[in-house]
Structure 1
Amino acid sequence: MLPASHPNRVALRFGDRTLTHAELASCAGALAQQLVGQPRVAVWATPTIETCVAVVAALLAGVPAVPVNPKTGERELGHIVADSAPAGVLAAPGTPLPEGLRPVPRWDVTLDAGDAGDAGDAGPLPEPGAEAPALIVYTSGTTGAPKGVVLPHRAVMSTLDAVAQAWQWTGDDVLVHALPLFHVHGLILGVLGPLRLGGTLHHLGKFSTGLVARALADGGTMLFGVPTMYHRIAAEVDGNPELVAALRQARLLVSGSAALPVADHERIAAATGKRVVERYGMTETLMNTSNRADGDRKPGSVGVPLPGVEVRLVDDNGAPIQQSDVVGEIQVRGPNLFTEYLNRPDATAEAFADGWFRTGDVGTRDPDGHYRIVGRKATDIIKSGGYKIGAGEIENALLEHPAVAEVAVTGEPDDDLGERIVAWIVPVGAPPEERELADHVARLLTPHKRPRVVRFVESLPRNEMGKVMKRALRA
Structure 2
Amino acid sequence: MTLLPALRGAAADRADAVTVAGGALSSEDLVGCVTAVADRIRGAVAVAVDGTPTLETVVGMLGAVHAGVPLVPLPPDARECERIRILRQSGATVFLGRNLAGAHRLPMVPVDLRQRSSAHHPEPAPGTDAVILYTGGAGGPPRGVRISRRAIAADLDLLADAWRWSRDDVVVQGTPLFRAYGLVVGLLGALRVGSRFVHLDRKAVGGPIGTMYLALPAQWAQIALNRPWARSLSAARILISADAPLAPAVAERLRLLTSHSPIQAYGTTETLIALTRRADDPTVAGAVGTPLPGVRTRVLDREARPVPADGESVGELSVCGPTLFSGYVEGGQSAAGPWHATGDLATVAADGSHRIIGRRGLDVVRSQGRWVYAGQVEEALLSHPGVRDAAVVGTPHHTLGEQVTAYVVAETGATAQTLIDHVGRYLSASHRPRRVHFVDELPRSALGRIRKSLLVAAG
Q: Which amino acid aligns with 2:263?
A: V
- Give 1:444's aligned residue: 426
Give 2:260's match in structure 1, choosing from 274, 279, 285: 274
Alignment of 1:370-449 (within 5 A): 370-434=353-417, 436-449=418-431
- Give 1:283's aligned residue: 269
Measure the CA separation in 1 of the matches of 2:389 and 2:137. Answer: 25
Measure the CA separation in 2 of the matches of 1:25 and 1:460. Answer: 41
Measure the CA separation in 2 of the matches of 1:85 and 1:377. Answer: 31
TM normalised by structure 2 equals: 0.93
- Give 2:196's aligned residue: 200
Partner of 1:323, secondary structure, is: coil
State the 1:402 CA deviation. Answer: 4.0
1:65 equivalent to 2:71? Answer yes
Partner of 1:83, secondary structure, is: helix
Give unpaired runs (5+ residues) of structure 2: none
Count of aligned pairs: 450
Alignment of 1:211-290 (within 5 A): 212=207, 215-216=208-209, 220-237=210-227, 240=228, 243-290=229-276
Measure the CA separation in 2 of the matches of 1:70 and 1:462. Answer: 14
Q: Which amino acid aligns with 2:329?
A: L
Partner of 2:166, secondary structure, is: coil
Give unpaired runs (5+ residues) of structure 1: none
Alignment of 1:130-141 (within 5 A): 130-141=126-137
The 8 Å contact of residues 403 and 428 in structure 1, kept in 2 or not, is answered as: yes
- Give 2:180's aligned residue: 184
Measure the CA separation in 2 of the matches of 1:467 and 1:269. Answer: 26
Measure the CA separation in 2 of the matches of 1:429 and 1:191. Answer: 39
Deviations 1:40-67 (A, max 9, x none): 1111222011222112221221111111
C-alpha spacing 1:207/1:292, structure 2 compared with 1 (3 Å): farther
1:459 equivalent to 2:445? Answer no
Deviations 1:246-295 (A, max 9, x none): 21110011111111111111111112211111100111111110122110
The 8 Å contact of residues 2 and 25 in structure 1, kept in 2 or not, is answered as: no
Measure the CA separation in 1 of the matches of 2:410 and 2:202. Answer: 26
Deviations 1:386-408 (A, max 9, x none): 33222121112223334433321
Measure the CA separation in 2 of the matches of 1:245 and 1:432. Answer: 31
Alignment of 1:26-425 (within 5 A): 26-91=32-97, 95-101=98-104, 103-113=105-115, 115-117=116-118, 119=119, 124-210=120-206, 212=207, 215-216=208-209, 220-237=210-227, 240=228, 243-325=229-311, 326-345=313-332, 348=333, 354-425=337-408
C-alpha spacing 1:16/1:439, structure 2 compared with 1 (3 Å): closer
Partner of 1:388, secondary structure, is: strand
1:25 equivalent to 2:31? Answer yes
Name the structure where helix makes up a greater proportion of residues.
Answer: 1
Question: CA RMSD, aligned part only?
Answer: 2.0
The 8 Å contact of residues 145 and 269 in structure 2, kept in 1 or not, is answered as: yes
TM normalised by structure 1 equals: 0.90
Measure the CA separation in 1 of the matches of 2:416 and 2:33. Answer: 61
Measure the CA separation in 2 of the matches of 1:198 and 1:159. Answer: 16
